[in-house]
Amino acid sequence: MATLYLIPTTLGESSHARVIPPFNDDVVNQLRHFIVEDVRTARRFLKKMNPAFNIDSCVFFVLNQHTSPQDLEGFLKPLYEGTDMGVLSEAGCPAIADPGADVVAIAQQKNHKVVPLIGPSSILLSLMGSGFNGQSFSFVGYLPIQPAERSKALKKLESRAYAESQSQIFIETPYRNMKMLEEIIQTCQPATRLCVAVDISLDTEFIKTKSVKEWRSQLPDLNKRPCVFIIYKP
Amino acid sequence: MATLYLIPTTLGESSHARVIPPFNDDVVNQLRHFIVEDVRTARRFLKKMNPAFNIDSCVFFVLNQHTSPQDLEGFLKPLYEGTDMGVLSEAGCPAIADPGADVVAIAQQKNHKVVPLIGPSSILLSLMGSGFNGQSFSFVGYLPIQPAERSKALKKLESRAYAESQSQIFIETPYRNMKMLEEIIQTCQPATRLCVAVDISLDTEFIKTKSVKEWRSQLPDLNKRPCVFIIYKP
């Protein structure tokens, strides 16, 4: 039976050596069939990994919010026929806060071997750097956009951080980061701790934990930079 | 200001090239002060990374459940004095389901730069391979040991998986894995999906998702093997 490999990519313009183990290159060099979030990014990633990689011999299937379950089934045909395949997301780990899980679920149903490779996850790295509880944590993706719902969601996360001693991780679309930050420091209790993790694995990376009260006196510039937010009790 | 590096290690007997980006070696080669979960494992890791590494010139501080907050403060003295330091857990990523978060919290309070390096996390890799929701997930560590409490905890995780469409991740001490597996398939609904992820990043790795009902007919051998359990709705 063929294997489905889950292949992490760099988070923005970092070098491969910074974030990708050498083994991944050995695996990827053997593959010619890829399910990808974006063909252009995938081609650039493969070329950067191995400038001699024969991209023109590759087949790319595009997986995004427009992909139907029927399309997905079709994408996996090479796998059913005995050919190993790879899943590449646009940045970071496939199937984590990114498309890919549906493809993996089908491969699992059909009893194919699934092998996740190691690479950068901004969620995990942010949590490591936060100093918050890593024995219990929760990632909830994006919060609702509508103000009342969003405020309610934030309060729910905060109360769960306190009641369950659980680190609460979430993200925002980069151009809305500053608004998110302002809403957190308005909504959460002054003593609640907030970690802001920006540009993870890039030269401009910073991971900073302070109380909401401390953040109020000085807001960092998060505008249009990839950012992970984590809240936790004092 | 000196930097605190969080340095992932291999999960058991895998090669470094399998799971560690080359950049990590460059960082570690510059360090001589390490906060570690186990000195013997740390020495072996450093020696495997770089056989020429001068381990005898290194200072190791041991961080485990016996370490007091006062000890911790002392460990970070080299950092306060301007020397970069590294945190190594026994396996995988420091501060994730492992000690280290307290040290990071202190470094954050003292305004030191914290830099998490990339490496294997059995939690994240298991979730990637499960096919379950990676947009919302929760890790809760170990479940209670006392039978009634444990059964209650399992039911709570299952109901949260359904109510919040959230993947629920937990672990068990390896010699109790078979008991845990039996309890899951007795306690959870037949249609609930269970992913069992074993020996992550090793040659014997397998990640398998089935319904509880399907698992009932054939139990895999998990005894004394590191294993991550994930449950999710059908």
Give the strand pairing for B227-232 and B193-198: antiparallel
For residue B208, list chain A residues with Cβ-Cβ distance below 8 A.
108
pLDDT in tens, B159-190: 999 999 999 999 999 999 999 999 999 999 99
Question: pTM score, two decimals?
Answer: 0.97
Q: Give the one of B97, B135, B166 whose C-beta lies nearest to A97's C-beta.
A: B135
Nearest residue of B to residue A114, measured between CA atoms: B129
Q: Give the one of A16, A94, A120 whose C-beta lies nearest to B128's C-beta.
A: A94
Query: Bigger pLDDT: B97 or B96?
Result: B96
What is d(CA B88, CA B109) in angstroms, rounded to the nearest whole number?
20
Residue located via tokens 């003295």:
B77
DSSP state of A56: G
Q: What is the pLDDT of residue A35?
A: 97
Nearest residue of A to residue B202, measured between CA atoms: A115
- B68, two tokens: 């007091």
What is d(CA B51, CA B54) in angstroms, rounded to the nearest whole number?
9
What sign for the dihedral angle of Cα A118, A87, A102, B212?
negative
Q: Give the one of B100, B139, B166 whose C-beta lies nearest to A137's C-beta.
A: B139
Average pLDDT of chain B, as a whole number: 95
Q: What is the pLDDT of residue A210?
A: 97
Domains and CATH numbers, chain B: 3-116 (3.40.1010.10), 122-232 (3.30.950.10)
Residue of A123, A128, A142 to mutate when probing chain B, most B C-beta within 10 A: A128
What is d(CA B171, CA B160) in angstroms, rounded to the nearest whole number?
17
Q: What is the pLDDT of residue A68?
A: 86
Interface predicted TM-score (ipTM) over 0.85:
yes
Q: What is the pLDDT of residue B70?
A: 85
Does pLDDT of B24 surpass 90?
yes
Please indicate whether, in this complex, the C-beta atoms of A136 and B139 are within 8 angstroms of each other. yes
Please indicate whether, in this complex, the C-beta atoms of B104 and A141 are within 8 angstroms of each other. no
Q: What is the pLDDT of residue B65?
A: 81
Query: Bigger pLDDT: B13 or A192?
Result: A192
CB-based contact B79:B34 (threshold 8 Å):
no
pLDDT band at B98 (very low <50, low <70, confident <90, very high): confident
Alpha helices in A91-211 (DSSP H): 101-109, 122-130, 147-164, 177-187
Mean pLDDT by 10 residues, chain A (234 residues): 96 94 96 95 94 94 87 93 95 89 95 97 98 97 94 97 98 95 96 98 97 94 94 97
pLDDT in tens, A168-183: 999 999 999 999 999 9
